[in-house]
Amino acid sequence: MKFLFSRFLFDLVVLLFYVNASYAFESCGNNNASRPLWLHFHFLRLLAASGCSKKAIKFRIDNPTAQPVSLTIDDKPYEVAPQAETKITLLAGKHTLDSKLTSKVKFIVYADSRGALINPTLNPYIISNEVYATNTTTAKASCR
């Protein structure tokens, strides 16, 4: 909630700057038609930089054990069956995971992230990536 409030304050400051600059141009005898285009561009650029993305990011909660796992993320309960996974989506911002094994863990989801695997059992994982290519151009494109 604190994250959203600080973003709101930033957007409000940018909006006030935009309004004050607009009135300054009008008070100098300029009308809307002669208002510089850079002012509009600057406002849009600042607004975009404030992180207004509401895109949901996909995550997977994995349970490699033989017992079901219960956890909550942001006070929403999840039950993951043994040897299974549960797909969820989270918005950018601060979140809290709570489970019997991990207790409360705070984490941040960034707007430009690709999601991840949530591991409430704390079991070790081996992640490998093998790229088979016929030339160096194909190999570079495959390793992203």
Residues 6+ apart with CB under 8 A from 53: 92, 111
Residues 14 and 36 in one domain: yes
Please state the pTM of the whole predicted model: 0.55
Whether 59 and 112 map to the same domain: the answer is yes
State how many domains the chain has: 2
For residue 86, which of 109, 59, 56, 123 has the smallest C-alpha distance? 59
What pLDDT digit, counting tens, does each position of 99-137 carry?
999 999 999 999 888 889 999 999 998 888 787 777 776
| Judgement on whether residues 75 and 11 belong to the same structural domain of the protein | no
Q: Which domain does 110 fall in, by range?
A: 53-144
Q: With pLDDT > 90 as the criterion, what percentage of the chain qualifies?
A: 44
For residues 26 and 134, give the distance between their C-alpha atoms in angstroms, rounded to a whole number.
63
More confident residue, 97 or 48: 97
Kindly state whether residues 64 and 35 are assigned to the same domain.
no
Task: Assess whether 89 and 108 both reside in one domain.
Answer: yes
My answer on whether 65 and 44 are in the same domain is no
Supply the CATH number for residue 120's domain.
2.60.40
Same domain, 24 and 45: yes
Give yes or no: residues 74 and 126 share one domain: yes
Whether residues 57 and 102 share a domain: the answer is yes
